[in-house]
Structure 1
Amino acid sequence: MSAAVSERVVNRGLSHDLRVVKVVLYRDLMRFLYDVGRAMATLLQGLMMLFVIGVGFGSLMPDAPGGVELTTVMFPGVIAMLVISTAIASAGSVVSDREHGFLREMLASPARRGAIALGKVCGGSVLALLQGSLLLIMAGLAGVPYHPVLLLQLAGLMFVLAFTTSALGVLTATLVRHPEAFLGISQMAIMPLVLLSGALFPIANLPAWLKTMALVNPITYAVDPMRRAVFERVETTPEAEALFNPGVTWFSWQVPGAVEVLMVGGAGLLFFALAVRRFARMTV
């Protein structure tokens, strides 16, 4: 009898946690929908990066190596940049909620703090995935085929990257108290993470010290599987493949795509666990 009662209590606790996650996620989604300007600005930034810079630098190469346009090469990296920017910016709601007292109310409620943290991370992940999906719709303009398997692969990789960067953003947001400070830290972090990930150019031919920095960057292992997936569906030459899609190597060993995805997902779980710990220690 006591075992049955205990099981009902556990089930009720889990359902309560899921409702907390749902409420926090719904609130962040509504905030995003009301702030259409921010969403459009982020999307336009990605489009400008892809087509203005891609076409501009592509004009310097009249004959595309292997028939692959520079916009096609840049497409996975620009998607990653858009996902990272959206996920980290969404985590800024933790700082603004603290400043306006809403976070204090959530922490003082009976809701488990881990559920609040999960709701925040899921909110950032879903928003980043939505933003990335808008750019994914325009894949054909960048020379990327609309192959169902490719689209599913990119969507799955985007979600893993979104979860990891959202967890990192939430963790960072728990360490600062003012929106201005979070904005400065996030802007300072996003650009190096993107530039040193191979998003805009392959890392294989970088100087040794820059390549070392790229290899310890977790975003590198999210961009590379995306580019691999695209090049699996694009017709090109072995020379262009070696130039634009060299992969990531450790001491002449090429890291498999599955290992890269596990590394990014593992980093996300680590960041999430640290964020939950920070939420548990936050004072009301």
Structure 2
Amino acid sequence: MSAAGLRALPVAAPPAAFTRPPATGPRAQLRAVCVVWHRDMLRLLAEPVRVATALLQPLLFLFALGGGLGSLTRSAYGVPYQTFVYAGALAMPVVFASIGAASSIVWDREFGFLREMLVAPVSRTAVVTGKCLGGMTTGLFQGTIVLALAGTVGVPYDLPLMLELFAYMALLAFTFSCFAVLVAARMRSVQSFMALTQMVVQPLFFLSGALFPLSRLPAWLSVATRFDPLTYAVDPIRRAVLGAVGATAAAPGVTWGRYLVPVWLELLLVLVSGTCMLWAASRTFRRG
């Protein structure tokens, strides 16, 4: 065939490229949650100094402060003071580590990585849920290390007790992780985020009964503790600890007037608080 004939033959068009639309179903949303959570875990494992320094404060709180004040004050509820403050020592690393993990949201916003996450074909609720679970796991990891020190302050290594305390810490970590994500969603700098969270969390911690029995507070201060969500997380931990060591005095508890708030209601209040903050954080990210 001549060259002219070859040029006259029709040339087949290349096949059209097939582009698969991004998955947006429940499996894709779950995968997005796992990816965000996994990223926070990689960041945690890459910074062992961060874990060590975060544990220094509760250890000083338990052994230095607890030992020093224990020599100056009488026993609380018939147990040594170190045993009494163990509930606060468990709550401290859980709360502060959960909040610190959410600071990565502010860093991601400053460096532009958060924008890339939010334009991905997944719901922003999945991104927020992954961040909350990442902060929860970080707080729970550090709290578990303090939980392993229970025997040093006279708390028995009883498996049902350890599982109960672990569940309480998980709920506490979830709630404060959601709180931190909600705050971080509105912050533009890490300095502002840390300053605001410290300003809020420090009063909550000292009013929660982590350091002293709530029954011995002045009336006006006792009212303030009833509006502190951390109070309803520390009290179940303390009830479990004092019940395990056989406290001779009356068991502690939060009261509304003459009504002793049961543990299940305290846990429900903490869970509802965390769920509401998770919902508010998701709405904030959707509007942002």
Q: Provide the TM-score with structure 1 as the length reference.
A: 0.91
- Secondary structure of 2:102 counterpart: helix
2:112 paired with 1:101: yes
- Secondary structure of 1:171 counterpart: helix
Matched with 1:268 is 274
For 2:115 and 2:247, how far apart are their aligned partners in 1?
55
Matched with 1:54 is 66
Q: Kindly tell me: are residues 102 and 144 of structure 1, through their superposed partners in 2, closer, same or farther at Cα, counting changes over 3 Å?
A: same
Matched with 1:34 is 46
Are the aligned partners of 1:164 and 1:267 in contact in 2 as well (CA < 8 Å)? yes
Would you tell me which structure has more helix in proportion to its own residues? 1
The equivalences for 1:186-205 within 5 A come to: 186-205=197-216
Q: Which AA in structure 1 matches 2:43?
A: R
- Secondary structure of 2:214 counterpart: coil
Q: CA deviation at 1:235?
A: 2.2
Instruction: Give the gaps of 5 or more residues in structure 2.
Output: 1-22
Residue from 9, 17, 23 that aligns with 2:29:
17
Q: Kindly tell me: are residues 54 and 111 of structure 1, through their superposed partners in 2, closer, same or farther at Cα, counting changes over 3 Å?
A: same
Matched with 1:7 is none
Matched with 2:8 is none
State how many pairs are aligned.
267
CA distances 1:61-112 after superposition (whole Å, capped 9, x unpaired): 4x74665111110011111111100001111111111111110000111121
After superposition, the CA RMSD in angstroms is 1.5
Matched with 1:3 is none
For 1:47 and 1:187, how far apart are their aligned partners in 2?
19
Matched with 2:133 is 122
Matched with 2:260 is 254
Q: Provide the TM-score with structure 2 as the length reference.
A: 0.90
Matched with 1:4 is none
Identity of paired residues, percent?
45
Q: CA deviation at 1:246?
A: 2.4
Instruction: Give the gaps of 5 or more residues in structure 1.
Output: 1-10
- The higher radius of gyration belongs to 2
Are the aligned partners of 1:78 and 1:200 in contact in 2 as well (CA < 8 Å)? no
Residue from 277, 284, 287 that aligns with 1:278:
284
